[in-house]
């Protein structure tokens, strides 16, 4: 009985010692974890972690090395307690060599409790440190070894199994903390580089969150709108002190639910022209996603100089058109006379006449478009009467029905019920919408689909023509409404003035134009008209 009691006392004492030892181990691990998690500065984390580990395990010296995957080396990043400085320059050991190579290859702790000068080292001068015991543990993060935590003692047999177990847990804790600090440092560097690029570009850039609140505005945008970025960060774009015409266009682009890029040009009262591209931002790693996108990026460019160049070119072409109209009419009459003269007697002559007539007709169409633009922009011959935009849109599709039927294109018109009558020039607005539908029919393959919509946003009537054609790359979209600009191949004939006419007509009626398109996903061409229509 006495022996059993004595045995029970001994077992309880051993169990108490084991529990105390385990508690001490957990306390040591928690102490290191609490210390290394206090900073995201990489160098500070390295030094703090090394100090914490040395304090917990009671070793005289230690070091932390990280793997440089690009250089295929293990690089010393922190040391403490070493007689010599191995940090300037940092000690670099090729992967696979020395004790560090063994740690990485075995993915386990390596211990040498009887370290002598006879041991072969990758860096021979390390023998001068006179350490007698060394333990090296792999540090893990994200499922791989990112570095090595090393402890040294001046005495042999300093590292027992208990300390090794503590070190095994501590090493991974330190590894995760270092990896987090390294990721933060890398992210910070990328953010600084991106910010430098954003601030140095001549294009104005504004970023907003899901709700349209400004999260970033670069220096070029500050100058463009004469605003202070510090006062705008966090405020809604709707309240930003920028030109109302630009702000309204941007707000409409942000309200789009299609998640597509949108580009447009805005002409201000002083003649200044701004090109805008509005693009949605998606973040795949977002934890909670309640919106179809995570914000917007707006790129603004002052293209007034391009507009001035376009005006000078247009003035030259307009003058040339007037000068060419009469001689072109004479040439056309002469070709018709030749056609009547030869009849079908000479097929070769008739083919030459046909080619000449095609060329003359194309040139005549170009001249007519130039003169149309001149009439729209001068305001001469513009009439004003109230009409219904939905009815006008259906009339356009009735006129286009033969072409649409020939290409087997399905088409539909969706007109909202709340569209008011618009005081404007019905003829020119019909011509503008007809240009949109005609382009859609030209570029949509046989059997495709064309839709048209009329709807209200604030005080603007929107007309959109949507096709499932080849689409247009984003880099071409800002210039689509310039005169003579053609983003597509020359296989489809045109004067390059159709969209310029649409833009002039829309602006004449207090609105503007825009496009949304992606390659292989079709295009949406839109125009806006003020409910006030033409100004009296």
The structural domains of the chain, ordered by start, are 2-188 (3.30.450.40), 201-302 (3.30.450.20), 383-536 (3.30.565.10)
DSSP 285-302: T-S---SSSSEEEEEEEE
Split at pLDDT 50, 70, 90, the class of 79 is very high
* Average of per-residue pLDDT across 34-56: 73
Q: What H or E segment, with its residue span, contains residue 264?
A: strand 262-267
Report the alpha-carbon distance of residue 457 to residue 489 in Å, rounded: 35
* DSSP label of 91: P
Report the alpha-carbon distance of residue 90 to residue 85 in Å, rounded: 9
- pLDDT recorded at residue 349: 77
pTM of the model: 0.46
- pLDDT recorded at residue 464: 92
Taken as a whole, the chain contains a residue count of: 536
Q: Report pLDDT digits (tens) over 3-39.
A: 666 666 666 665 565 445 555 545 555 555 555 566 6
Split at pLDDT 50, 70, 90, the class of 531 is confident
12 Rama sector, left if φ>0, alpha if ψ -120 to 50, beta otherwise: alpha
The listed range with the strongest mean pLDDT (102-111, 235-244, 246-255, 415-424) is 102-111
Report the alpha-carbon distance of residue 6 to residue 232 in Å, rounded: 79
DSSP 459-494: TEEEEEEEE-SS---TTTGGGTTSTT---S-TTS--
Q: Report pLDDT digits (tens) over 421-464.
A: 888 888 888 888 988 998 888 888 888 899 999 998 877 889 99
Report the alpha-carbon distance of residue 279 to residue 320 in Å, rounded: 40
pLDDT-wise least confident of 94-98, 315-319, 462-466, 489-493: 489-493
């Amino acid at each position: 009985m006495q022996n059993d009691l004595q045995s029970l006392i001994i077992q309880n004492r051993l169990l108490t010692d084991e529990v105390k030892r385990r508690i001490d181990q957990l306390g040591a691990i928690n102490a290191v974890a609490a210390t290394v998690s206090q900073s995201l500065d990489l160098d500070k984390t390295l030094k703090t972690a090394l100090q914490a580990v040395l304090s917990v395990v009671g070793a005289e010296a230690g070091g932390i090395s990280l793997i440089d995957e690009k250089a295929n080396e293990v690089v010393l990043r922190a040391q403490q307690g070493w007689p010599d400085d191995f940090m300037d320059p940092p000690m670099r050991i090729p992967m696979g060599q020395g004790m560090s190579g063994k740690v990485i290859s075995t993915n386990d702790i390596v211990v040498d409790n009887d370290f002598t000068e006879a041991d072969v080292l990758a860096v021979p001068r390390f023998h001068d440190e006179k350490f007698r015991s060394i333990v090296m543990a792999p540090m893990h993060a994200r499922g791989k070894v990112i570095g090595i935590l090393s402890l040294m003692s001046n005495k042999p047999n300093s590292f027992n199994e208990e300390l090794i177990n503590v070190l095994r847990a501590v090493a991974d804790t330190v590894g995760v903390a270092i990896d987090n600090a390294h990721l933060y440092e890398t992210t910070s560097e990328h953010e600084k580089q991106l910010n430098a690029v954003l601030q140095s570009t001549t294009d104005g850039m504004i970023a907003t969150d899901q709700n349209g609140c400004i999260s970033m505005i670069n220096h070029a945008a500050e100058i463009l709108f004469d605003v202070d970025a510090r006062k705008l960060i966090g405020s809604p774009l709707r309240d930003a002190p920028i030109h109302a015409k630009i702000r309204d266009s941007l707000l409409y682009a942000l309200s789009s639910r299609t998640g597509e890029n949108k580009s447009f040009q805005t002409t201000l009262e002083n003649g200044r022209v701004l090109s805008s591209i509005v693009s949605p931002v998606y973040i795949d790693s977002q934890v909670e996603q309640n919106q179809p996108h995570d914000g917007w990026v707006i790129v603004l460019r002052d293209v007034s100089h391009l507009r001035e160049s376009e005006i000078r070119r247009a003035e030259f072409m307009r003058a040339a058109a007037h000068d060419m109209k009469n001689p072109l009419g004479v040439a056309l009459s002469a070709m018709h006379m030749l056609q009547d003269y030869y009849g079908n007697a000479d097929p070769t002559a008739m083919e030459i006449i046909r080619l000449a007539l095609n060329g003359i007709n194309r040139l005549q169409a170009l001249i007519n478009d130039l003169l149309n633009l001149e009439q729209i922009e001068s305001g001469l011959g513009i009439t004003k009467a109230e009409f219904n935009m939905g009815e006008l849109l259906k009339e356009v599709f009735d006129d286009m029905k033969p072409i649409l039927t020939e290409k087997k294109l399905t088409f539909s018109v969706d007109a909202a019920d709340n569209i008011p009558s618009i005081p404007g020039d019905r003829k020119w607005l019909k011509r503008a919408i007809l240009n949109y539908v005609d382009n859609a029919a030209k570029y949509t393959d046989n059997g495709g689909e064309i839709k048209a919509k009329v709807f209200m946003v604030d005080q603007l009537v929107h007309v959109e023509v949507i096709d499932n054609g080849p689409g247009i790359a984003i880099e071409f979209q800002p210039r689509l409404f310039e005169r003579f600009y053609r983003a597509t191949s020359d296989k489809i004939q045109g004067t390059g003035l159709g969209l310029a006419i649409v833009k002039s007509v829309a602006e004449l009626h207090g609105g503007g134009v825009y496009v949304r398109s992606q390659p292989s996903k079709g295009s949406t061409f839109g125009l806006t008209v003020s409910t006030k229509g033409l100004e009296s």
